Structure 1
Amino acid sequence: MLPFQGCYGFVHRDPSVVNAMDFKVGASILRSSSRLGKRSTNAFKSHKEAERRRRQRINAHLSTLRSLLPSVTKTDKASLLAKVVHHVKELISQAAQVARQDGDGFCSGSSGGGGGGSEPEKYCAFPGESDEATLSYCDGEAKTMRVSVCCENRPGLNWELSQAIRLVRGRAVRAEMMTVGGLTKCVVVLQWASGGGGDEEARILRRALKAVVENRVSGCGLGQNVDGVNYFHVKVVGLLFVATTRVNVSPSLVLELLQRIARVIKDYLGILNEDSLRKNFVLVYELLDEVIDFGYVQTTSTELLKSYVFNEPIVVDAGRLQPLNPAAIFMQGTKRMPGTAVTKSVVANEPGGRKREEIFVDIIEKISVTFSSSGYILTSEIDGTIQMKSYLTGNPEIRLALNEDLSIGRGSGRSVYDYRSSYGSGAVILDDCNFHESVRLDSFDLDRTLTLVPPDGEFPVMNYRLTQEFKPPFRINTLIEEAGAVKAEVILKISAEFPSSITANTIAVQMPLPKYTTRATFELEPGAIGQTTDFKEANKRLEWGLKKIVGGSEHTLRAKLTFSQELHGNITKEAGPVSMTFTIPMYNASRLQVKYLQIAKKSNTYNPYRWVRYVTQANSYVARI
């Protein structure tokens, strides 16, 4: 026996034991190799996922670069990076050139007002990372100031900046603008008008520029608070009526007050526009003094104000004025309403000192309809009002009868889609309505008659809303097709679905076009008269105007579009929807009618004039493409 045999493992063992040990060793090796395989697979999957995320980040950054570069379509990565390098070099060169310029490029001075011996102030026209608005006086004899605004680029920014400058009666003499990466910097040099340029104007301008930077100009709504003062305004026929207060009051109260003040002024002046207000300033001032006394509202009733305000207005000739509403086209046919129907004052007398006894009742409806791309009606609504204007002396009692089958509430479940005519029969189903405080409803449930003693001036007798089905006056069909790589054709068709005895006036159709549209040519139907077409390149919009449309007729417009780049995707998603505005005299879609207008007689010879007119206007008339 060798002495060291056991040390090297050559020990004699039982064969069965050796086989068992070999099996265990083999199993252990297999388990080890299996664990190594799982680790390798997991590592491979993790590496693959990391590589995928890295490619996504690269592609996202490349897309961002592609969107930042001007006039770049989809290109490969190498060309894109080459253009980025070239563009960055150009920006560096421009920045170096601007940095070498001194304040003489625009004006020189300092924020403290600028003295003759101060060094020129350098500026950079590139937008910074933060929003800011700065003012600085320029050197020289004339009162000039440099205005700098840096903020996020958005539509209407130039208009907001110009409005801020007009607020202080400044005149822009030079301007520069630069937009980089969605940020815009505007530098404007303005001169003050005579007597301007003081600290007060600078303070107002600085506050206005702050509102521009904070984007509070276009989104301020009807009321806002500035330095503790609440400002409220309403717009009536192009005129702004503004109220200010430091007290925390209800905005609805102030807005309603402004509307009533506008109504009272219109009752007295007859015509509500800038010319009539300027010529009757003393009368308007006297009316405001009676309506509001030391900040407290006294009355807005024209009837009560006639007891305190006796001055007659200076009448403005309505014949040379452009109509601000469709009042001039309310009546059609052989019997027309006098031209002074809407522009007549409730206090002015006729020539010769006599006053004509007459009363006007207007049924005005504003339609909101949304059509789907296939022509089906998605939403439809009518907002209507019965407006009355009385020139009757003594305020006699009036009985106003409506449709006998008038229903209020949606529980009836009936449809009014069986349109016959503007004067036809059929159920009229209103969702809800409200009445003026002077209306008595004693017999309304019985025979649908309203009894009232009309106050002086113009007032709404009844407001109503209808969302049941009704036949819209117009149908709009739109078709847009690609006519090549950079061309498309648009076909607009309007169908008037009301009787031929009725004519719609002042029709305007608008359609937004793709933002890369550069040109549009139009083709009207043969024999078209009184139609205009235009392509607004600034806001990429197609406009089609028609002077009048007779009921039952159809009109078609073809437009050929040219684009600055090839079409990608669905063009219908980048165009539309088509919107339409119109006015239809002597027509109402709801078929609400005034059956008779009865006035209590003072004597057998008392027979005032009665005028009833209907008009339908488009509130939101939209057709999707």
Structure 2
Amino acid sequence: MSASAIFILDLKGKVLICRNYMGDMDMNEIDHFMPILNKREEDAEVSPLVCHGSAHFLFIKHSNLYLVAMTKKNANAALVYSFLYKIIQVFKEYFKELEEESIRDNFVTVYELMDEVMDFGFPQTTDSQILQEYITQEGHKLEVGAPRPPATVTNAVSWRSEGIKYRKNEVFMDVIESVNLLVSATGSVLRSEILGSIKLKVVLSGMPELRLGLNDKVLFEITGREKSKTVELEDVKFHQCVRLSRFENDRTISFIPPDGESELMSYRLNTAVKPLIWIESVIEKFSHSRVEIKVKARSQFKSRSTANNVAIMVPVPSDADSPKFKTSTGSAKWVPEKNVVQWNIKSFPGGKEYIMRAHFGLPSVESDELEARRPITVNFEIPYFTVSGIQVGTFNHQPADLIPLLCFTNASFHIHTRLRCCIDGNVNVMLIIDFKALPWVRYITQSGDYQLRTN
């Protein structure tokens, strides 16, 4: 069981929209939510759960709204929060931004969505692509007779419509990894993890069957290739289209994909990561009137890769002024509202080292208070590279009207396709076409929470 009712409140606790799904609770109980929450904040008590008698409120604050689920039963809290975050995602895909104004401007659509995403306390269809097939922001015409649900909802494959046809069948895949890193002032790595996702853009006809293989450690152990280069994936989450039983048996990701863009899977690797971009900084103060900062940046990945749009944020004293910069590459600028120097390097090849010097003036009166040293943060993106070493091994596609075999190699892949040519309506010719195409798999590594502490 999920929730008896869902409320959307403004920051003052006023109900903007609500939906009573079970009718087993007094809806006026929501009036107790905000006073209890305010008292807890005054007492510095932080909790995502508020209780009043037998009423339990599980809530999320998003922008200038509170999304609150009310229940009096022993509900599955993880399911409730997962549902709340999911409907936030649905609303954002409908209205671009989810805030009080977008709720007020689209309350009819919001009510329709709330009716579809949950029924009698049980989550139902929460895929925005399916919802957009029959809930639009345009007026609905009156239909004669009993309304029929869209075919997608009643299909065995609820995330994909039948009868999809394209003149050109293509699949695009992005393997994106974000690196979270915290390095101490002495140079030791205090925290490192990799958050990855595989995203698809599918332009295929019919109901295609796709199979995907990764250099996963468990898969290679099953197939007797323990010595091959592998990665050990943790916290793997799949789109609902993936056949979990098949993955558990032989680690093959088999699925009928949604049409268009979707996230196939996400994963995490809690592993030691060598800093891809290493930063050294030295700060010198001279007679309390000026400060000089020297920053050295070194890329610690292979020369065949290049980091793009590198931004290195170096903290400076809050009372600094009159900046002067000198860089061996790129450009530097002072961002006074953040008290940082931002050093921008458009292209940073592997195995290179660059230097930036900054000079600031300081007030003649020295403050007795010592200012805490903030860490240096780095933003970057490295295309055609994954820090974990994950690779797409095989990618097979078998649509109903075409029977191709896609085999990825290092440079390109071949598509062997059987096409039936019709003459006067009769199938009498079978052609085998073999051609090369550009790779459709991209690998991208980007910075997440990437920080290096300074002395």
- TM-score tier after normalising by the smaller chain length: 0.5 to 0.7
**Partners of 1:261 and 1:501 in 2: CA distance:** 43
Maintained 8 Å contact 1:164/1:209:
no
Residues 446 and 294 of structure 1: is their aligned pair in 2 closer, same or farther, counting only changes over 3 Å? Answer: closer
SS at match of 1:398: strand
For 2:270 and 2:68, locate their aligned partners in 1 and report how far apart those are by CA, in whole Å: 38
Q: Distance in 1 between matches of 2:312 and 2:201?
A: 32
For residues 234 and 346 of structure 1, the distance between their equivalents in structure 2, rounded to whole angstroms, comes to 32
Counterparts of 1:584 and 1:282, CA distance in 2: 44
Aligned partner (choices 179, 204, 208) of residue 396 of structure 1: 208
CA distance in structure 1 between the partners assigned to 2:362 and 2:37 by the alignment? 37
Are 2:362 and 1:559 aligned? no
Match of 1:574 among 368, 372, 382: 372
Aligned with residue 214 of structure 1, among 42, 55, 58? 42
- Note the C-alpha offset of 1:291: 1.0
**Relative to structure 2, which stretch is displaced further, 249-258 or 443-452?**
443-452
1:594 aligns with 2:389: no
Whole-angstrom CA distance in 1 between matches of 2:52 and 2:312: 39
477, 486, 506: which one pairs with 2:280?
A: 477
Mark the runs of 5 or more structure 1 residues left unpaired by the alignment: 1-162, 169-202, 315-344, 416-424
Q: Render the CA deviation track for 1:271-292: whole Å, top value 9, x for unaligned.
A: 94469x7998765653332112
Displacement, 1:592?
A: 0.4
How far residue 490 of structure 1 moved from its aligned partner, in angstroms, is 1.8
The corresponding residue for 2:330 is: 528
The answer to whether the aligner puts 1:542 opposite 2:354 as a matched pair is: no
* Superposed CA offset, 1:385-406 (max 9, x none): 2233545443321111212767
Distance in 1 separating the partners of 2:67 and 2:167: 35
Q: Deviations over 1:559-600 (max 9, x none)?
A: 33444444779x7x8322212233333321001011332111
Q: Describe the SS at the equivalent of 2:71.
A: coil
SS in 2 for 1:428: coil
Q: What is residue 289 of structure 1 aligned with on the other side?
A: 115
Aligned counterpart, 1:373: 185
**SS at structure 2 position matched to 1:462:** strand
CA contact (8 A) 2:205 2:399 kept: no
- Pair 1:246-2:70 in alignment: yes
**Bigger RCO (CA 8 Å, 6+ sep):** 2
Offset of 1:475 from its aligned partner?
0.8
> Whole-Å Cα distance in 2 between the matches of residues 389 and 221 of structure 1?
39
Q: Which residue of 1 aligns with 2:266?
A: 463
Aligned partner of residue 261 in structure 1, secondary structure:
helix
Q: 1:547 to 1:164 in 2, by over 3 A?
A: farther
Given the superposition, is the C-alpha separation of residues 209 and 557 from structure 1 closer, same or farther in structure 2, using an over 3 Å criterion? farther
2:412 aligns with none
Return closer, same or farther for 1:358/1:447 CA change in 2, 3 Å cut-off: same
In the alignment, what sits opposite 2:296?
A: 493
Name the residue aligned to 1:361. 173
Q: Distance in 2 between matches of 1:244 and 1:452?
A: 34
Aligned residue pairs total 366
User: Residue 321 of structure 2 aligns with which residue?
Assistant: 519
Q: Following the alignment from structure 1 to structure 2, what is the Cα–Cα distance between the partners of residues 264 and 164?
A: 21
The answer to which structure has the higher helix fraction is 1
CA contact (8 A) 1:232 1:254 kept: no
Q: Is the 8 A contact 2:329 2:354 kept in 1?
A: no
Distance 1:615 1:527, change over 3 A: closer
Q: Whole-Å Cα distance in 1 between the matches of residues 308 and 257 of structure 2? A: 31
Asked if the contact 1:367/1:381 (under 8 Å) is kept, the reply is yes
Q: CA RMSD in A?
A: 5.0
Read off the aligned partner of 1:399 and give its amino acid letter: R
Query: Superposed, which structure 2 residues align to 1:25-174 within 5 Å?
Result: none
Contact 1:403 1:448 survives alignment (8 Å): no
Which of 134, 143, 147 is matched with 1:310 structurally? 134
CA–CA distance in 2 between the matches of 1:391 and 1:357? 5
* Larger gyration radius, structure 1 or structure 2: 1
Is 1:233 matched with 2:56? no
* Counterpart contact for 1:408–1:432, Cα < 8 Å: no
State the SS of the aligned residue for 2:134. Answer: coil
Q: Deviations over 1:40-77 (max 9, x none)?
A: xxxxxxxxxxxxxxxxxxxxxxxxxxxxxxxxxxxxxx
TM superposition score normalised by structure 2: 0.62
Q: Which amino acid aligns with 1:290?
A: E
Query: Residues 311-343 of structure 1, C-alpha deviation per residue, up to 9 Å, x if partnerless?
Result: 5678xxxxxxxxxxxxxxxxxxxxxxxxxxxxx
- Structure 2 residue matching 1:439: 3-state secondary structure: coil
| Structure 2 counterparts to residues 407-422 of structure 1, below 5 A | none
Deviation at 1:210, TM superposition (A): 5.8
The 1:582/1:520 distance shift into structure 2, 3 A limit, reads: farther
Q: Report what 2:453 is aligned to.
A: 624
Change in 2 beyond 3 A, CA 1:259/1:611: farther
Q: Deviations over 1:54-112 (max 9, x none)?
A: xxxxxxxxxxxxxxxxxxxxxxxxxxxxxxxxxxxxxxxxxxxxxxxxxxxxxxxxxxx
Secondary structure of 1:373 counterpart: coil
- C-alpha distance in 2, partners of 1:226/1:522? 59
AA paired with 2:442? R
Unaligned runs of 5+ in 2: 1-9, 16-30, 139-158, 405-414, 418-436
What SS does the aligned partner of 2:390 have? coil
SS of equivalent residue, structure 1 residue 246: strand
d(CA) in 2 for partners of 1:300 and 1:453? 18
Partner of 1:603: 401
What is the match of residue 433 of structure 2? none
Percent sequence identity over aligned pairs: 29
Deviation, 1:510, is: 3.2
Counterpart contact for 2:215–2:231, Cα < 8 Å: yes
Whole-Å separation in 2 of the counterparts to 1:485 and 1:519: 13
Give the conservation status (yes or no) of the 8 Å contact 2:311–2:342. Answer: yes
Query: Which secondary structure state, in structure 1, belongs to the residue aligned with residue 179 of structure 2?
Result: strand
Whole-angstrom CA distance in 1 between matches of 2:235 and 2:98: 37
Matched residue SS, 1:254: helix
How far residue 452 of structure 1 moved from its aligned partner, in angstroms, is 1.9
CA–CA distance in structure 1, aligned partners of residues 131 and 387 of structure 2: 37
SS of the aligned residue for 1:583 comes to strand
Question: Is the alpha carbon distance of 1:211 and 1:389 closer, same or farther for their aligned partners in structure 2, counting shifts above 3 Å?
Answer: farther
CA distance in 1, matches of 2:244, 2:70: 41
Structure 1 distance, partners of 2:368, 2:219, is 52
Which amino acid in structure 2 is aligned with residue 504 of structure 1? A
Instruction: Tell me how far apart the structure 1 counterparts of residues 373 and 180 of structure 2 sit (CA, whole Å).
Output: 21
Q: 1:406 to 1:469 in 2, by over 3 A?
A: farther
AA matched with 1:232: F
